[in-house]
């Protein structure tokens, strides 16, 4: 028994039938003695529908303030509908919009940052057995204007509420049964993880595993909110995302992520002098193009090669840009490749297990897959390979690290 914040995503509340099922699920938790606070997203497809109407009228850059007023209406609909469904089951429930609980954010419309939440009303409700149903994704700035938190915003709303309420757990209820060792569509033996650390989840989330938005994971880690990813409609324990503990399963590797939406640019034969990196990446950053991996080799004969990756959609722009500045930086050539994939091996176990990198390189060599770039962090190894090998690489590495088996 405890206080649980549950967040239901767009597909979980996508129809009135599903909303009724969610109400049943919430009722079950209360019947088992839990106190529940619910956070909901808009019905699936609704936010896109609203954004499309806004763009029809406002072009590519419609007013950010008004887009927030527009899109936040989606969550308003679902909090009301779920409250109605809970009341129909004989429970006491009450919807809350952001301004009703002073869910305060800054004024960065469309990507607002949470500043403060007044949980007094929610606490009163909880103490009286009322189930508060809170609109995710939305906030309110100090002017009383509606803001929104951006993609994955409802996850962040739920985590922030759980932190403010010192909840025992924050459950992200979604259409997958948890976090898997890798994409089950690629590897048949992909296994649901019963636990994973915040750090690992953060790496996986950033690396293209779509289960949770990195921001919500970061937030949960910072405020030490135990986070659980689980299915709304299929019973099961899901995956608990938690602080590292000695009792946790400690495999070398927890999971493998992959991303095929990147492209690489190589600036070859540039003088190996201080400041060259910023001369290359300065113009890229100035265009608000996000750079992911950066690799620079030790120079030979006072010259070096510099390679970095960007989102594939920014590839053409970046390549043109670098060709323009090539002369300024005395680069010999600027080349690129947009048919690449990034495969990343993540696990806190790497810290204590030597040889993880070697095992990765060996196995990829066995499969005849050439590694184009390597980047590592304390708990992650990412390699860039040709896109056509991505499924093969993921399957081979899943096998190499025995991820289909529960760790001993």
Q: Which residues bind a copy of itself (CB under 8 A)?
A: 16, 19-20, 23, 50, 53-54, 56-59, 62-63, 65-67, 69-70, 72-74, 76-77, 79-81, 83-85, 87-88, 94-95, 97, 99-100, 144-146
Q: Which is nearer to a copy of itself, 80 or 374 (CB)?
A: 80
Q: Which residues contact 202 (CB under 8 A, 6 or more apart)?
A: 214, 217, 218, 221
Nearest in space to 317 (alpha carbons), one of 343, 286, 341, 293: 286
Q: Residue 125 Cβ, how far from a copy of itself at the closest point, in Å?
A: 13
Render 104-126 in DSSP notation, one character per residue: EE-S-TTSPPEEE---HHHHHHH
Neighbour order of strands in the sheet with 303-311? 291-296, 303-311, 262-271, 333-337
Identify the three-state secondary structure at position 218: helix
Judged by beta carbon, residue 144 or residue 235, the one nearer a copy of itself is 144
In the bound complex, what is the minimum distance in angstroms from residue 225's beta carbon to a copy of itself? Answer: 27
- Residue 207's Cα: distance from chain center in Å? 8
- The nearer residue to a copy of itself, 142 or 328, going by C-beta atoms, is 142
Give, as one character, the DSSP assignment of residue 167: -
Q: Token digits for 124?
A: 């009163």
Smallest gap from Cβ 99 to a copy of itself, in A, equals 6
Pick the closer one to a copy of itself by CB: 32 or 61.
61
User: Can you say whether the dihedral through the CA atoms of 23, 26, 32, 34 is positive or negative?
Assistant: negative
- For the bound state, the minimum distance from the C-beta of residue 50 to a copy of itself, rounded and expressed in Å, comes to 7
**What letter would DSSP give residue 300?**
B
Cβ proximity of 180 and 255 under 8 Å = yes
- Of residues 43 and 240, the one with the C-beta less far from a copy of itself: 43
Task: Output 23 or 230, the one with its CB closest to a copy of itself.
Answer: 23
Give backbone dihedrals phi and psi of 392, rounded to 5 degrees, phi first: -60, -45
Minimum Å gap between C-beta 201 and a copy of itself is 33
Tokens in use for 239? Answer: 């995956």
Reference 115, options 145, 133, 141; nearest CA is 141
Q: How far is the CB of 218 from a copy of itself (least distance, A)?
A: 30
Q: Which is nearer to a copy of itself, 57 or 354 (CB)?
A: 57
Q: How many CA atoms lie within 13 Å of 139's alpha carbon, on the beta-carbon side?
A: 30
Cβ proximity to a copy of itself: between 70 and 211 the closer is 70
The distance of closest approach from Cβ of residue 326 to a copy of itself in the complex, given in angstroms and rounded to an integer, is: 39
Distance CA 180, CA 178 (A): 6
Judged by beta carbon, residue 85 or residue 383, the one nearer a copy of itself is 85
What is the Cα–Cα distance from 193 to 341, expressed in whole angstroms?
24
For residue 97, the minimal CB distance to a copy of itself (Å) is: 7
Rounded-to-10 torsion of CA 51, 57, 61, 62 = -80
CB 381, CB 343: distance < 8 Å: no
Query: What is the closest distance, in whole angstroms, from the C-beta atom of residue 25 to a copy of itself in the complex?
Result: 15
- Residue placing its CB nearer to a copy of itself in the complex, 65 or 311: 65
CB of 93 to a copy of itself, least distance (A): 8
Q: Give Dmax over CA atoms of the chain in angstroms.
A: 78
Alpha-carbon distance of 62 to 331, in angstroms, equals: 40
């Amino acid at each position: 028994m405890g206080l649980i914040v549950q967040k239901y995503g767009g597909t979980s509340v996508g129809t009135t039938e599903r909303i009724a099922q969610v109400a049943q699920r919430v009722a079950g938790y209360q019947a088992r003695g839990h106190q529940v606070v619910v956070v909901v997203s808009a019905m699936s497809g609704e936010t896109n529908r609203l954004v499309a109407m806004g763009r029809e009228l406002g072009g590519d850059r419609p007013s950010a303030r008004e887009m927030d007023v527009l899109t936040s209406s989606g969550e308003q609909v679902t909090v009301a509908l779920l409250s109605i469904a809970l009341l129909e089951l004989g429970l006491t429930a009450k919807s809350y919009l952001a301004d009703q609980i002073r869910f305060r954010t800054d004024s960065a419309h469309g990507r607002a940052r949470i500043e403060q939440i007044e949980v007094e009303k929610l606490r009163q409700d909880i103490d009286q057995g009322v189930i508060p149903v809170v609109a995710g994704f939305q906030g309110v700035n100090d002017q009383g204007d509606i803001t929104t938190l951006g993609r994955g915003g409802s996850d962040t709303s739920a985590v922030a509420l759980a932190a403010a309420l010192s909840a025992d757990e924050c459950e992200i209820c979604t259409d997958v049964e948890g976090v898997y060792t890798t994409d089950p569509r690629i590897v048949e033996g992909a296994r649901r993880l019963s636990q994973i650390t915040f750090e690992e989840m953060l790496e996986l989330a950033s690396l293209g595993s779509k289960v949770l938005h990195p921001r919500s994971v970061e937030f949960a880690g910072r405020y030490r909110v135990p986070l659980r990813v689980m299915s709304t409609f299929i019973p099961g324990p899901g995956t608990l995302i938690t602080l590292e503990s000695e009792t946790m399963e400690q495999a070398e590797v927890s999971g493998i992520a992959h991303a095929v939406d990147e492209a690489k640019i190589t600036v070859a034969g540039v003088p190996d002098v201080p400041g060259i990196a910023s001369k290359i990446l300065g113009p890229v950053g100035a265009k608000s193009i996000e750079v992911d991996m950066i690799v620079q080799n030790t120079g030979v004969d006072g010259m070096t090669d510099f390679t970095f990756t960007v989102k594939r959609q920014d590839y053409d722009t970046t390549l043109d840009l670098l060709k323009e500045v090539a002369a300024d930086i005395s680069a010999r050539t600027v080349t690129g490749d947009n048919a690449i994939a990034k495969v990343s091996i993540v696990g806190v176990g790497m810290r204590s297990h030597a040889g993880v990198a070697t095992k990765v390189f060996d196995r990829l060599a066995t499969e005849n897959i050439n590694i184009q770039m390597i980047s590592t962090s304390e708990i992650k190894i990412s390699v860039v390979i040709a896109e056509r090998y991505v499924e093969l690489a993921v399957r081979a590495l899943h096998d190499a690290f025995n991820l289909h088996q529960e760790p001993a």
